[in-house]
């Protein structure tokens, strides 16, 4: 028996790095079980370093763009909303229907924007790997419990 794919929206402030990496990881590694989207409470543009560290593990997010969380407020097909930063958790709007909302926070790499690659890239790799380990394990377990 084939189970239905669940839909998750991952939200951070700018939809530039953490939520973009999470969307790419979920769709690449859990695509049989989950369909991921990402958005920001104050969207900007995708961080080129996020694109770079994702490409290092074979995931292309170069076609992603930052989106506002407002785009998703009228959707009634989301199963889960996950905030990945404290600011997004504080200002995240309520979603209609029976959608669960969770917070799984990760460090904000924005402070590295003006730093050289040798300083910034190791931090982005660590955050990417933490998202891969923590968030994906959470979603796997949640899918197995059938939400």
The catalytic site residues sit at 12, 85, 92
Q: Which residues contact 121 (CB under 8 A, 6 or more apart)?
A: 49, 52, 53
**Ramachandran quadrant class, 107 (left: phi over 0; alpha: psi -120 to 50; beta: rest):** beta
Distances (CA, A) of 32 to 9, 29, 103, 106, 129: 16, 8, 23, 25, 21
């Amino acid at each position: 028996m084939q189970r239905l794919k669940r839909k998750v929206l991952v939200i951070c402030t700018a939809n530039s790095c953490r939520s973009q990496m999470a969307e790419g990881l979920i769709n690449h590694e859990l695509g049989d079980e989950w369909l991921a989207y990402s958005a920001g409470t104050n969207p900007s543009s995708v961080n080129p370093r996020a694109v770079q560290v994702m490409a290092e593990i074979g995931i292309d997010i170069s076609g992603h763009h930052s989106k506002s969380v407002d785009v998703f407020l009228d959707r009634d097909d989301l199963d889960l909303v996950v905030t990945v930063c404290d600011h997004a958790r504080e200002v995240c709007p309520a979603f209609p229907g029976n959608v669960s909302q969770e917070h799984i926070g990760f460090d904000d790499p924005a402070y590295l924007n003006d730093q050289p690659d040798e300083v910034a890239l190791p931090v982005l790799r660590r955050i990417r790997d933490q998202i891969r380990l923590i968030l994906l394990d959470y979603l796997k377990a949640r899918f197995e419990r059938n939400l």
